[in-house]
Structure 1
């Protein structure tokens, strides 16, 4: 299969849009079964981008940036930007939430920090910046962007130190930031994270902002 997967509300039935980015070795169909099936948001249109070969870039997120990784990341960001633009064109005027899991969360963070056309909110489920703090990385996050960032002290892909570094960079960039660290949680999307994504989407379906106020 190729191309983004489009699900949920369509046409005049949509009141918000969510672009949901899968992780390494995953697919839009897995995001549908692991995340969308646990949501109750009939007024949200979903666009699920598809990475060529199932990965957005080959390196680990916490590896130093190389020329090859920068090139792959740039191509992935262009791919994501095209899907975001297509989602906006299909649903003009609606608020758009950019969300991702694991490598998809990392890519979504890089999209926002790169100064690409901003979503109305960013939900990074188990994410961090790509590269290390010593790398020259974009710092063009729109101020006051609502961001929900999660992690775990036991996640095998995103160390808690990388999660904390991302939280620091988001704070310094003046994001409206909420973070949740889930002790002992595996590499998965937990029920509280689903509840928060549900609340963010509900907020945009009923008003123009989100308070990210779901219980943990």
Structure 2
């Protein structure tokens, strides 16, 4: 099991849990720093560290086999955290996913493969994973879970077409979907995204 870093409220005192998933080449510290900008008071924050700082070796749109076995192991890491949190008495609607870039893709993919009423899924620049979108991979119903994707209209890693296709798939599965697409080319998290998420998902 990869290293897991905890921040915020202890699990036995928290009302909600945020599973925070860092991007390629990054660390738990980088994603946990987002807690300075997000309304996560009362949350336990759980951040897994990817082996070698990457969840899978190639693009999220590479042929599926190219990213194995790392991709499946990464999904298992998230699933292990979810199972542990649920075993401590948290319901799925008290569990939130927050990811950036590669971590956003992994968060969306895990949530879609295990769709239920989550607290929220917040993807700062990400889309569903695979060379082609394969709806047969996804099961369950989000039952109105708020799902957010924010990105540049021309991100260097995540094409707008994949974001749009991902949003369509998630909406078909019952997600309350919101995308914010910005007229820049930056691979970053913008103040407008933080504000929207704070007001509409975390408050």
Please report the TM-score for the alignment, with normalisation by the length of structure 2. Answer: 0.87
Alignment match of 1:83 (pick from 70, 81, 84): 81
1:151 lines up with 2:145 in the alignment: no
For 1:111 and 1:102, the matched residues in 2 are separated by 14
Alignment match of 1:69 (pick from 67, 70, 77): 67
Q: CA deviation at 1:101?
A: 0.8
Aligned counterpart, 1:54: 53
Aligned with 1:47: secondary structure? strand
Q: Which runs of 5+ in 2 are unaligned?
A: none
Q: CA deviation at 1:57?
A: 0.4
Q: CA deviation at 1:12?
A: 5.5
Q: Is the 8 A contact 1:101 1:125 kept in 2?
A: yes
Q: CA deviation at 1:7?
A: 0.5
Aligned counterpart, 1:115: 114
Question: For residues 77 and 162 of structure 1, do their structure 2 counterparts lie closer, same or farther at Cα, with a shift above 3 Å needed?
Answer: same
For 1:16 and 1:57, the matched residues in 2 are separated by 28
Q: CA deviation at 1:172?
A: 2.4
Q: Is the 8 A contact 1:155 1:186 kept in 2?
A: yes
Aligned with 1:131: secondary structure? coil
For 2:3 and 2:153, the matched residues in 1 are separated by 34
Please report the TM-score for the alignment, with normalisation by the length of structure 1. Answer: 0.82
RMSD, matched Cα: 2.3
Describe the superposition over 1:37-69 as per-residue Cα deviations: whole angstroms up to 9, x where unpaired. Answer: 223432111111111110110110122322x42
Question: For residues 118 and 86 of structure 1, do their structure 2 counterparts lie closer, same or farther at Cα, with a shift above 3 Å needed?
Answer: farther
For 2:52 and 2:116, the matched residues in 1 are separated by 26
For 1:126 and 1:55, the matched residues in 2 are separated by 16
Q: Which runs of 5+ in 1 are unaligned?
A: 203-216
Aligned with 1:31: secondary structure? helix
